[in-house]
Amino acid sequence: MRASDAPIHDGTKLPALTGLRFLAAAAVIVCHFNQRGTISVPLELTDFLDDGRTAVALFFVLSGFILTYNYSNMAGVSERVKFYASRIARIYPVTILALLLAAGGVGYAVINRDAGVLTDWYALEDANIFTVGGSLLAQLTMTTGWFPTASINQPWNAPAWSIACEMFFYALFPFLIVRMRRLSPARIAIILEGCFALQCFIIWAARTFAPIDQKGFLVYQFPVTHLFEFLAGITAGLIFLRGGREWIGQGARRNLLLAGSLVPLAALAYLRPVNPAYLLMSPLFAVLILTLAVAPARRPSWLAWRPLVVLGEASFSLYMIHVPLRDIYTMAQPTVPIGWCLLAATIVISVLVFKYFETPARYRFRAAILQRWQKAPATLVGTQKAAD
């Protein structure tokens, strides 16, 4: 049996990880709403969450794990095309919707530039075709994370820098999984050590040599800086599929691993011995995700509670639309008590967007991409069949 003919996995769903996605998205949203003054939370909480940055690192690890779980046996050009079609269809429709919502905030900031709105919202002293238009182009091409400058990175929908990272990971994944699934644990460990060293080097080089206005972007948002997190997720996924699920499920191992990841994660978040905090937290995130993927022996995980899973399914929509909606709320100048109602409304809106826009748009977008692929020139199709 060829690898491409083998079942990808046994069909077991991982609802606890879907619930975890919502908690990570909620952490980001609370921090971003607090930054604008839409809500008010204690400084200790945003410090503990590192203004949502550690939650995004968790997303990257989780992305590597889930892709490995679903596509570990990927092989051949046709499967890679289906993978890329699925990933683009997963991201792009909501990206466009978020930009449409963000247009109101951008227009408001440009009109009120003299009142300092442009500076407060997007860290821009001025707006012109090169800044606003360049940023829009980067958003449309999902490349904002590759431009370490506020004029490109901040306008429209600032959290979209992480989408640039995800697209980078998606581009690499088919090639990474084919090679990593053949490697021994020792060789995978060497690769992880090398990528961790690269991550540390980039952060050190950015803080040492980069212009002051680019240091933060290179440390926190540059796609290559986060490659280690994605690889840690792939490794955890391979461990899970290679017998880790059965091993963790025996005796008290699951509870011990949960404690062994959550306790040091909490300590690192509170003490912040390194900056950025996610630098030491990513391996622990991988252990946490690997452990939560194993269902408890006696009772369902609270993370698998159906309402929480529904919110987790809508977490991508929530992540992408919350800043444009926050900007709209800011234009209305809400009071702090109303801000919590607006945050709750944003969550509800994200569920509606997921159900009535994201899901149908994803299927149609994917079908359109695959249809165009099937109509590719005969020479290209012949190359595909030979590769398969």
Instruction: Provide the Cα torsion 330, 336, 340, 345; round to 10°.
Output: -30
Residue closest to 124 by CA, chosen among 79, 90, 154? 154
Extract the residue ranges of the chain whose pLDDT is less than 50.
1-8, 378-388
pLDDT value at position 373? 82
pTM strictly above 0.95: no
**Which pLDDT does position 383 carry in this prediction?**
39
pLDDT at 6: 37
CA distance 137 to 146: 13
Which pLDDT belongs to residue 382? 41
Of 75, 61, 258, whose CA–CA distance to 179 is shortest? 75
What does the domain layout of the chain look like in residue ranges?
Answer: 3-387
Which pair of tokens denotes residue 123?
């860290």
Query: In 3D, which of 287, 313, 256, 241 has the Cα closest to residue 18?
Result: 313
What is the pLDDT at residue 4? Answer: 37
Q: Which amino acid is at 380?
A: L
Full DSSP string of 260-313: HHHHHHHHHHHH--SSSTHHHHHHHHHHHHHHHTSPPSSS--GGG-HHHHHHHH
213: DSSP letter: T
Question: Of 225, 80, 83, which Cα lies nearest the Cα of 162?
Answer: 225
pLDDT of res. 297: 80
- pLDDT tens string 36-52: 888 999 999 999 999 99
Rounded Cα–Cα distance for residues 174 and 80 (Å): 6
The angle formed by the CA atoms of residues 263, 69 and 357, to the nearest 5 degrees, is 95
